[in-house]
Structure 1
Amino acid sequence: MTKFLLAVHVLAAIVAVGPVTVAASMFPPIARKALAAPDDSQAVATTGLLHRICRVYAAVGVVVPVFGFATASNMGVLGDTWLIVSIALTALAAVVLAALVLPRQSAILDAIPEGRGNRAATVRLAMFTGIFNLLWATVTILMIVRPGSTTGA
């Protein structure tokens, strides 16, 4: 059962978190282009698509920690420090996405047709997106290295 739960956890992370990290990273430069030329329908449509990808896959991403907890419980590692740190970083990444990235994407999308957006907003968004991505990279490394693991990794 542990192998099944771990496989679902890893697949969910790849399928759900991967698209969010890529789409969120692509959003600021495309948004800058759309803000500079609000009549560029392709850039405007692309920013909307990237935001939708981020929202949808963020919601789907909820299954990642659900299966992560189930896997950790089956493995008997719920109290391990590396896992507790990973859980805290995952929660922080979720907060960054929900409170800092997605709302700023929405605000920029709203500003495009009105021509009132600015480059500084996209720069701040890029910074928060980078923090989100760095948190996920750190969690991924902790999941692979697992300090104190007996697997020899």
Structure 2
Amino acid sequence: MTKLFLSLHVLAAIVTIGPVTVAASMFPPALRRAHHGPGAPDALTTVRTLHRICRVYAGVGIAVPVFGFATASSLGVLGSGWLTASIILTAAAAAVLALMILPTQDRELTALQDDGPRPDVPAAGRLAMLTGVFNLLWATVTVLMIIRPGSTTGA
């Protein structure tokens, strides 16, 4: 059962977190393009699509910690320090996404649809920074999962 839970955990992480990190990273430049230039209709469609990807995959991404807890429980490592650190970092990444990135994307998308192009886009810079933090948190969790202290893989 442990191998099944671990496989589902890794697959869920790849299938859900990967698209969110890519789409969230692509959103700020697409937002800048949507605010400027002649290709605004195509850029607006791109921004809308990227936001939808972030929203949908963030919701489905709840499978990652669910299968992670199941895996940790079956391995008997729920009290390990590296796992506690990973849980805290995962919660922080989820908070950054749910409380900062997605609402800002939603506000900017609404503003684009209502007002049309604007000359200055400071939100794109903030979103780029928040996305960088989100990605760094997930990269740290990934490293902890691979080189965790007390690993039985011998690596």
| TM-score, normalising length: structure 1 | 0.96
Task: For residue 90 of structure 1, give the secondary structure of its aligned residue in structure 2.
Answer: helix
What are the within-5 Å matches in structure 2 for residues 1-153 of structure 1? 1-37=1-37, 40-113=40-113, 114=115, 115-116=117-118, 118-153=120-155
**Structure 2 Cα separation of the partners of residues 46 and 128 of structure 1:** 20
CA contact (8 A) 1:16 1:60 kept: yes
CA contact (8 A) 1:13 1:64 kept: yes
- Residue ranges of structure 2 left out of the alignment (5+ in a row): none
Task: For residue 82 of structure 2, give the secondary structure of its aligned residue in structure 1.
Answer: helix
Count matched residues.
Answer: 153
| Two-structure CA RMSD over aligned residues (Å) | 1.3
Given the superposition, is the C-alpha separation of residues 41 and 123 from structure 1 closer, same or farther in structure 2, using an over 3 Å criterion? same
**Structure 1 Cα separation of the partners of residues 129 and 36 of structure 2:** 20
Amino acid at match of 2:141: V
CA contact (8 A) 2:33 2:39 kept: no
Post-superposition shift, 1:38? 7.6
- Residue ranges of structure 1 left out of the alignment (5+ in a row): none
Post-superposition shift, 1:26? 0.2
| TM-score, normalising length: structure 2 | 0.95
4+ runs of 1 displaced by more than 4 Å?
Answer: none
